[in-house]
Structure 1
């Protein structure tokens, strides 16, 4: 039985993959055979696989496609080690190329403020709550999990900052803008009538219990449609808008990192889409070696 036949039997029998998945695995396997040429599979080593990855990059394949192929090859070799007597798996331990980080389309300051202002003019209880949620998201750059995790007693400094539980159980304090504070103050009397006894959450639903991330996402989608936005908003786009607008105004990357709660400043650089044209202007104006001496 050939290695390819062995894989096909594995996929149709023990592994129980769908027809489309089986076809994708087999296509990836045939690609490896093509790349290997006359080489027998049991003679391949990690350096060979790395060479094939470089070839795929030169052919224009993106990181996600290459990662999928490596995963299929790894599964295939595990099968051959187990059933065909292969002594090693040349794909084991190899990392796929890092996929480019996909960021939401930037939302302009006017577009963001127009949306929040329109929502703030609504006067029914749930709209008032939603206005407070999204004002806080934009004001402080919060993740949706941080929004729904916020409690009434998390405010500090007379309500001017909020203690946030972020990724990895790390806490940080973030400032809360005046507009967000006003929206929250408008929501709090309504919250008192809705929240179940003992509920600590800042934002609750009709049942009086803490909102879920999915509920917040759904409400933001609904408001995007109701207010006629060209593109639907979602919580991460509000966080991205906060970061971008804050960075454009402050030009302080470190402060932006602290606001967002990023462990690495490299994440902040990618996430906020630094305005390099503005950076170039600041550099030309400020750096003593940016321009040649006009009077040599």
Structure 2
């Protein structure tokens, strides 16, 4: 049987066997038609081959398309109802959507920048310490998807340019290793050379002010907003927008939701589902293949301010 044949039989049972309302049948039909198209795009032609990963990626794709938490909950309810019927018909052995929850309603995702907008933002002009620092922190936000607190808390010893990695401390004091793209490595190398003009020998912070002190979160936010305005980006840009752009662009390129979740250091992403741990070599491979600035260096260069 084709996926559509089973869907038709399920919807017929919904209408005539369970006496569901016409509105419910119509909504379930639309939701399941999108799910079927998603599966067929993945070359899935049998419901028994559907896994939790397929459902997770479908929910994430629908979330990125703008569906609310309530609409996603309805889509998941439709998928669970379908698989409940398939179980009773002995067509499948389990419900892959059983443990998946939708994103919470009322928490819209921040806007993501377009790749071209990110390219413009990180092209900070100038070669002085301030410009090198700002270019490096912008590249690092987008290169590795860091939270503001993670970037502000980075020490020099947390960055390994040779290995192209950074060690960050995330929420819940969870430490993770993130890869650095080629553009970020170059920008960080430039900044580390310029940093000596401001830093005392015993200062551990990676990003510092002209007074030699660790750059505060507020100051970092101000620098991001400053360069967005100066370089003509048509919206209010903040650090979390760069983190969200990292996740969006990488997910669109790779389709590997679990790897993106791991790179972000999330307990959940989009579907709030906790995924199995992926080893770093796999994450680095996904990053290298998919991130827009993984291989490119970026020149740079002036402005005042902190």
TM-score between the two structures when normalised by the length of structure 2: 0.53
2:148 to 136, 140, 144: 144
- Return structure 1 stretches of 4+ with deviation > 3 angstroms: 265-269
Note if contact 1:148-1:211 (Cα within 8 Å) is conserved in structure 2: yes
Deviation at 1:265, TM superposition (A): 4.2
Q: Deviations over 1:172-196 (max 9, x none)?
A: 0000001000000111111112112
SS of the equivalent of 1:158 reads coil
- Contact 2:176–2:265 (CA<8 Å) still a contact in 1? yes
Q: Which of 1 and 2 has higher RCO (CA within 8 Å, sep 6+)? A: 2
Matched residue SS, 1:194: coil
Partner of 1:247: 251
Match of 1:175 in 2: 179
Deviation at 1:267, TM superposition (A): 5.3
Question: Relative to 1, partners in 2 of residues 1:259 and 1:252: Cα closer, same or farther, differing over 3 Å?
Answer: same
- 1:109 match: 115
Alignment match of 1:186 (pick from 183, 190, 196) = 190
Give the match for residue 214 of structure 1: 218
Larger radius of gyration: 1
How many residues align? The count is 172
Tell whether 2:140 aligns with 1:128: no
TM-align CA RMSD: 2.1
1:74-131 deviation digits (Å, cap 9, x = unpaired): xxxxxxxxxxxxxxxxxxxxxxxx65212222211111112212x1x32232111000
Q: Secondary structure at the match of 1:174?
A: strand
Indicate if the aligned counterparts of 1:148 and 1:203 stay in contact, CA closer than 8 A. yes
Partner residue, 1:227: 231
Which residue number corresponds to residue 209 of structure 2? 205
Q: Do the aligned partners of 2:136 and 2:191 also contact (CA within 8 Å) in 1?
A: yes
Separation of aligned partners in 2, 1:248 and 1:218: 29
Mark the CA change 1:245 to 1:268 in structure 2 (over 3 Å): closer, same or farther.
farther
**Per-residue displacement from partner, 1:234-293 (whole Å, max 9, x unpaired)?**
100000000101111111000000110001244568xxxxxxxxxxxxxxxxxxxxxxxx
What are the ranges of 5 or more consecutive residues in structure 2 without an aligned counterpart?
A: 1-68, 70-103, 274-306
Q: Secondary structure at the match of 1:163?
A: strand
3-state SS in 2 of match to 1:199: coil
Secondary structure of the equivalent of 2:215?
coil
Write the distance in 2 (CA, Å) between the matches of 1:134 and 1:229: 14
TM-score by length of 1: 0.55
1:237 aligned to 227, 237, 241, which one? 241
